[in-house]
Structure 1
Amino acid sequence: MGTSFTVIENIQQSTPQEGLTSRAATASEPTKDSPALILGAVLIIVVLNFAAFHGSLSGYFLADDFAHVDYLKSVFNGNAHLLAKNFYSNWMQTLGTSFYRPFISITLATDYLFWGANPNGFHISNFFYQTLSSVFLFLSLNCMFPELDRRARFFTAFLAAALFACHPLHPEVVSWIIARVDSVCTTFLFLSLWLYLLARQTDGKRANALQMSSLAAFTLSLMSKEMAITLPPTIFLYELVNSSFCRSEKTGGWRARFVEALKATRWYIALLLFYLGFRAAVLGTLFGGYGGSVGEGLQATLWRRWFMEGCLARLILPFNEAVTEPKDKLRLVFKLMTAGAVAIAILRACLSARKNNLKSLPFAISPFLLFGLGWFIIALAPTIQVFDITTTLQGGRFVYLATAPVVLVLAALVFGAGDEKKSHGQVSLLPLLSMALAALFTASYTVLAMHNNRPWCEASRGVSNLRAGVENALEGQPAQMKVAILNLPPHHKGAHMLYNAAMFGVTLKPPLSKTDLTNRVITFEPVTFGDANLIGRTRLRSILADKNLAGAFVWDSNEQRLLPMKDWRSIGLSAPSQTFELAKGDCLLENEGQSVQSPIIDVPSIDFDFLDLTLKVEPTVAGKQIAPDAYLILGWSGATHPIYAPQQEIAQPLKPGVNTYRFSVGELKNWVGEGKITALRINTSVKPCKINVESVRFINADDQIPELSIAPEFKYFIDSNGTLYTSEDLGPVRYDATKIKGAKSVHYEISKPESWFEHYSGTLRDKAPSEKVSDSGKFEQLSSSQAVIPLKALKVPGFYEVRIIALDAQDKPLGYVSNPINFQVSGSYFKKRKTETDARADKK
């Protein structure tokens, strides 16, 4: 029977196979590569890893790393059972997620055992897993397709592994300790694949031992991350492509090949089904992912992230917009390299077709190319919920495995199927061109990986500097004195830093700090995830007025250090201003360097909730319209940052004619952290245009936003971030809507578990109740200092948010919602409620 793909002229003839169940390499083609050649390739791969990522070896802990440091501290202080618990429950027993990754905690515990809380040891392990992944990828690929030309197979495998070793999308996995979930999973996945291929090429007891070792490695991969489920379909795909490429006349038709491929994969499918069943039993779900408002947000942006933001293109052009300038020559090099790979493949195909007089396909094709394309789809499939590679390459970890088939496709285009000689025996220029392009690819990937890894090294230094800055601010202060930090840095040029106060708290206590400072630092961060630039003005003013506050600080992302907030004491003690207006003016913006700038002003940054700009915007050319995607940019300078910077800007869509733009500045940390606003700047994204400033008004909305706060009598724990923890109904709390004109009652609402209202709207200043609630109710009184909010409608423990809004006589909302209160309901609340319910039932 004819094969589906063309076999080129210089392929080595192999011994016929008895279908796929016979050993695929009786010709033992892969073993013909000398051990010295294999060792040399492995050493080069190790060197490439070091060249690209050596800067990470001296890194610090970042973001979620701190949760694991705290967890390991508990494990090694009498709670070793927590490690075992990961094998039959949700990973680290975290609420809001569904992950089964017990082996990752074992690797982290091993690091902690040998290194303690020294981050260098953890980073060495991360580098080790990245290097092993690269090596096992090379060994796996070099064992594939035994009938392919040996040189083509070796160079394709080597180039793919070399590019994987220094891939510019890998800094997140290498430099962020907990992102080892991807490298550990991939290491054992590639190891399992390699052992499987060796078993297919071996007979007898050794084959059985290799098969069992492969299944064991697959098990460890499954216990590291859910991406491991891609191995069985990957093996199945390989067997299909390999049987199609094989010249044996006994390979059968497509149906027979399908059955044989299924048979070859059966043990991996069986293990995968067992894993899914066990996972469903212990976690209640087949697959992992995020719940709550985070999960809903991911679902809502699915199409945009996959197809509208250039995420897929970054797999080929992995440039960090915060690192590489748009006109950087390296961008052109990457485009030309990719085009060159395609051009060489087309040239090789044309020459092969002309020389071989092919009938089945018009050109020779490398089986690696077909396998790589299919493998790419398989590797991306599990990331469907979370796939997102931002302009600063955050999310690169999600495609860590998928970068392997991407570089394999590139390598297959460069080296082809091995048709390197003309009919008269002279060597063509194609091998030389291929080698030159491969060298250029490798060098360019290494350089870009080093550039992309730099922000991660800087982020590590930044977190360390932040901790040192807090220690210095509290040094010599009485024990009751505290400091407030308005804006913990969530990231730096795409590198994760600190996403919530709990993460930062770990840095301020042993083993990362000599003394425990966690209760002396006040923060304003999201409980888990969210917009880190949002802040509740009511809580901030009360904290600034606290006599035990030693200082208020903001983090400067450019200088990577803490800056003292100017005039914070006088601002906290003074009564907020009500209204402030600027004079009118007009300006013609003709080029990119022009903007409208206000005169010098002196406005307390935390006195106002809104800034209203009334502008008349007109095109400068008659008949020409303002672009529909144009936007208005409001910038400012202040006492803390006297020079304008992109971090001190917000934007809204720009509309032609006279319009009032309301900017909710009072909820922005980069606004309130200035202490005093000294100047405004108005700009547009399109030029030229004419702007007439008709009015600029700073609005204090105390008469539109009700107050909600925790009463001093609250007896449960309140952390330094303002989150309270309760095992009873929520209270007492204080609320006040008496300033809201026309208010007759107050509506309260509780979010869904692990959900936050601002995740849906992007603001704390909603003007209507939310539909995403667990419960809601109404207070008939407009104020109270001892209100209790019942939690009987809540179904599960977890984090929640509560807020209020004033209602008129017809129960229509007035003004804006209050600043929310974050709280966590413990499992004991639900146990107590069940006990009480059972007791009442027994009495009946």
Structure 2
Amino acid sequence: MPDSPPSTKFHLIAALTLLALNIACFHPALNCYFLGDDLFHIQYLHRILNEAPLSLLDNFRTVWCQDLGYGAHYRPLTSFSFALDYLLFHSQAAGYHLTNLLWHYAVCLAVYFLAGALWRLSERSSEDRVAGLATAVLFTLTPTNCEPAAWMSARVDSICAFFYVTSLYFLLRDLESPSSFKRAGGLVLFALALLSKEAAASLPVVFSACVVAKEKSGFRRTIRSIFEKAGDVWLLFLAYLGLRALVIGELFGGYKGGIGALLSASFAPRVVSAIELLAYPVPLRQLIDSDIVHTLQQALYATVSVLTVLAGSLCATGRASIEAREARRLILALTVLSVSVLPILPVIYLSEAMQGGRLFYLPAIFAAFTATSGLACLRCAFPSGLGKYLYQGFLVCFCFLIALNGLACLESSFNFRKASQEIIGVQSSALETAERESSAKRLVVLSIPAREGLPRLFFNSKQFFALIKPPLTEIDYSSKFALLEPDLSTDMKAINRTCLEHLARDSGNRFFLWNEKNRCFERVPAPHAERARIPANLLVEPLDPASHFQWRLSPAQQLSPASFDILIIRVDTPPGSAPERSACQLFYQEAPRDTLTDGKSFKKSFLSSTSPLTFLPAQRPDWLLAPRCSAFYLNIFPESERAIVEAQLESAAESMPVLWVDETTMILDRNGIFEPARSGHGVITWDCTRLDGASSCRVDISIPHAVLQLPSLSFLTEEPGAQVMKTITVERPTGRLTLERQWFPLEAPYQIRVRALSETGAPLGFYSYPINYMPR
């Protein structure tokens, strides 16, 4: 690399370069609307700033947004950033997204200066500014960084990253030339980073690693240096942990409820998932539409990986050597990268479940620095001959990769804009539907599925009620609409079947399904299929006898999938084969000539040779409404020696997968509150052993969402989690439970749900089979 030009001129060139890249990749975000959690924050700010502005300060003494249902997080600073936007832009989404872009650009600039400071730790060099710019460009064009730039709620990551990076930069400058101003600035900025998001907890370890890299001395001397130069950083971090535990009541906090259960997994799979996303930083929900570009991008990442392994092998065998300075820098880069990943491991599965790659915003900084350090090592290790061509090949691949990553960022920004158009379409169609069906008692929206490749429009029924009106008005649409929403704790779209059947009893209700093609709500008939009293066996036919991954499952005569509670498929594997993790996709075909589409399919993973595959037809609204079924089609990957030996649809005529305490008559009293017509006492029994991987169960006694949306019970929704009145854990997949009167404190219809859990405690679904209720 050539010597750097004068610093002021080069800093200006770097700032303009990063600004141009940000504008080119993320300008579509300015046309985005509020998505997902944005609606929650807008409603929260509207209520707080109009009714009790000083309550915003309560974020410093309680959980984020004073809502434990949002998770046990301590992030008071982020709410003030949103509040400032609210005062400036009110309900104009473009203003909020402009602020997001400015924060992201500020982080990119900070990365430029930080990378230069990290480069100088090993030895002062004239290359530090060029290396800093290369690192900042790589970070700017990392596809996982699109969400903090384009999604308002993801600003929490860019705010934390900005204070984190600037704090580390000030502390590193203090190592170069000690100054009380730099030290105080670094500590203050670190405190602000901690008050923005918990991911900043890695900074004391990262800074300690930098101190070790700077000292290059013996063990005792190094430990003393850490105490002397990083001791105050550690003390500030410990004080933060004490404050956090005092405020939120626990040390670690995190997501609760269904989302928290979704994230449960052993440590090893979390690490593997983190490495995979760092090696290929393109979240599954943000893939490029063009198959050619996507394939080329994958090929380039694979080529870089192969070249990296080749270069490492040559160095390990002594055919190439790395200078000590470059080696120390690369080791430091890998160390701080590993440390920065640790705080996000508890929520790693959110990166593919709902929210994309924003969790890797901080690690992406050190990943970019690692790539730059690696290139420097290659240049020194292979100065001539064949090795020189290897280095040049790396540079060519990186140039193409940067260009393709830029396209991926641009495509992701357009995806956010497409999702905004979807949500605006839902908003306008819901208003039109409410006006057109003004005589209906209730408008029941069965489901609004997330579009493939787009960010999730919203997360729960409260946000649905926010999006069907201008978010800042006081009109209560929850008394008109009932949303039976997708369940976020599973990888399938679950519909609360019992609530649906309850709402279908009243002929004054209207049922609607979102038509993605026409972008409007279409009225559908209320589901009324009677449960079948005998099982239905399906004829199993391999589509290709030579293969072992595609089958057609055909009933003897046409039937309605809504008449059955569960589809059980038994898979036979060769004797002696070890269990392996596989994936499957089940398609439903209404008529023989219907095209099979992803929109009418289940996708799930399973462990082969352990338990049968189970599918619950009630978890898809289109299956509940289907009058007939011609066939099911099942694909299992990867292909191996296996066979489908039996497939059967089953139902329990005397019980339901989700059980009302009172299944017969409901009495509506003069206050509009539902009251069970008979006592809630009784005994329930269940058996979940036939569900894939069921190890234990959790019993929830709750008030359904459809009932909570009644104005008379709306007070419950102000208290997060109040709809779940009792939770009982049973350490086996079968059980018997006697209901007690004190578990039913309110005069309302309750529902009892038994959720099967895996060995790690992860939920397998809201529905178990069968559940029986016996009055006492």
1:817 maps to what in 2?
771
Question: Is the aligned partner of 1:60 residue 2:36?
Answer: no
Distance 1:120 1:69 in 2: 13
Question: Is the aligned partner of 1:679 residue 2:630?
Answer: yes
Q: 1:268 to 1:632 in 2, by over 3 A?
A: closer
Question: Is the aligned partner of 1:331 residue 2:298?
Answer: yes
Which runs of structure 2 are paired with 1:445-484 in the superposition (5 Å)? 445-478=405-438, 480-484=440-444
Question: Is the aligned partner of 1:267 residue 2:221?
Answer: no
1:503 maps to what in 2?
463
Q: 1:243 to 1:768 in 2, by over 3 A?
A: same
Secondary structure of the residue aligned to 1:132 is helix
Contact 1:90 1:98 in 2 (8 A): yes
Task: Say which is worse superposed, 731-740 or 367-376, in terms of deviation.
Answer: 731-740
Which runs of structure 2 are paired with 1:42-441 in the superposition (5 Å)? 42-95=15-68, 97-144=71-118, 145=120, 148=123, 150-202=125-177, 207-244=179-216, 253-292=218-257, 294-307=259-272, 310-321=273-284, 323=287, 328-340=295-307, 365-388=326-349, 394-416=355-377, 436=396, 438-441=398-401
TM value normalised by structure 1: 0.72
- Cα drift, residue 551 of structure 1: 3.3
Distance 2:7 2:605 in 1: 64
Q: Indicate the structure (1 or 2) with the bigger Cα radius of gyration.
A: 1
Contact 1:130 1:183 in 2 (8 A): yes
- Cα drift, residue 712 of structure 1: 4.0
- Cα drift, residue 466 of structure 1: 1.9
2:509 to 532, 549, 566: 549
Distance 2:308 2:684 in 1: 69
Q: Deviations over 1:308-342 (max 9, x none)?
A: xx441221212344635598122111222344466
- Greater share of residues in helix: 2
- Cα drift, residue 434 of structure 1: 6.9
Q: Deviations over 1:130-184 (max 9, x none)?
A: 1111110111121332663634322322211111111111123322221111110
Secondary structure of the residue aligned to 1:402 is helix
Q: Deviations over 1:14-35 (max 9, x none)?
A: xxxxxxxxxxxxxxx99x8421
1:825 maps to what in 2?
none
2:706 maps to what in 1?
none
Distance 2:424 2:80 in 1: 26
Contact 1:311 1:388 in 2 (8 A): no
Contact 1:509 1:516 in 2 (8 A): no
- Cα drift, residue 543 of structure 1: 1.6
Secondary structure of the residue aligned to 1:365 is helix
Q: Deviations over 1:338-361 (max 9, x none)?
A: 44466678889999977xxxxxx8
Q: Deviations over 1:363-387 (max 9, x none)?
A: 6525431221111122112223222
Q: Deviations over 1:186-242 (max 9, x none)?
A: 011111222333344456xxx333333332222211110011222222222112112
Question: Is the aligned partner of 1:665 residue 2:617?
Answer: yes
Distance 1:107 1:467 in 2: 26
- Identity, % of aligned positions: 20
Which runs of structure 2 are paired with 1:570-585 in the superposition (5 Å)? 571-572=527-528, 578-579=533-534, 581=536
Contact 2:323 2:380 in 1 (8 A): no
Q: 1:596 to 1:343 in 2, by over 3 A?
A: closer
Q: Deviations over 1:638-697 (max 9, x none)?
A: 49x95422342346869899x99764323443521x432342223342779897987755
1:832 maps to what in 2?
none
Q: Deviations over 1:590-619 (max 9, x none)?
A: 367964264896644533323466x89799
Secondary structure of the residue aligned to 1:143 is helix
2:743 to 765, 772, 789: 789
Distance 1:433 1:612 in 2: 52
TM value normalised by structure 2: 0.78
1:708 maps to what in 2?
661
Q: Deviations over 1:243-269 (max 9, x none)?
A: 22xxxxxxx533223322331223322
Q: What one-letter code is carried by the residue in structure 2 that aligns with 1:263?
A: E
Task: Say which is worse superposed, 430-439 or 59-68, in terms of deviation.
Answer: 430-439
Contact 1:635 1:681 in 2 (8 A): yes
Distance 1:591 1:130 in 2: 53
Contact 1:129 1:183 in 2 (8 A): yes
Q: 1:191 to 1:549 in 2, by over 3 A?
A: same
Q: What one-letter code is carried by the residue in structure 1 that aligns with 2:420?
A: S
Contact 2:297 2:401 in 1 (8 A): no
Question: For the aligned residues, what is the CA RMSD?
Answer: 4.7
Distance 1:648 1:385 in 2: 32
Question: Is the aligned partner of 1:41 residue 2:14?
Answer: yes
- Cα drift, residue 65 of structure 1: 1.6
1:589 to 541, 544, 562: 544
1:538 to 498, 513, 530: 498
Distance 2:623 2:728 in 1: 20
- Cα drift, residue 717 of structure 1: 8.8
Contact 2:148 2:158 in 1 (8 A): yes
- Cα drift, residue 508 of structure 1: 2.5
2:713 maps to what in 1?
none
Contact 2:277 2:283 in 1 (8 A): no
Q: 1:543 to 1:392 in 2, by over 3 A?
A: closer
- Cα drift, residue 88 of structure 1: 1.2
Secondary structure of the residue aligned to 2:100 is helix
Q: Deviations over 1:114-141 (max 9, x none)?
A: 1112221111111111111111011112
Q: What one-letter code is carried by the residue in structure 2 that aligns with 1:676?
A: P
- Cα drift, residue 418 of structure 1: 7.9
Structure 2: runs of 5 or more not aligned: 687-696, 703-719, 756-767
Q: What one-letter code is carried by the residue in structure 2 that aligns with 1:589?
A: D
Contact 2:28 2:417 in 1 (8 A): yes
Distance 1:254 1:748 in 2: 51
- Cα drift, residue 278 of structure 1: 1.8
Task: Say which is worse superposed, 71-80 or 459-468, in terms of deviation.
Answer: 459-468
Q: 1:632 to 1:119 in 2, by over 3 A?
A: closer
Q: 1:236 to 1:777 in 2, by over 3 A?
A: same
Secondary structure of the residue aligned to 2:74 is coil
Q: 1:749 to 1:202 in 2, by over 3 A?
A: closer
Q: 1:149 to 1:432 in 2, by over 3 A?
A: farther
Contact 1:311 1:390 in 2 (8 A): no
Secondary structure of the residue aligned to 1:498 is coil
Distance 2:557 2:256 in 1: 46
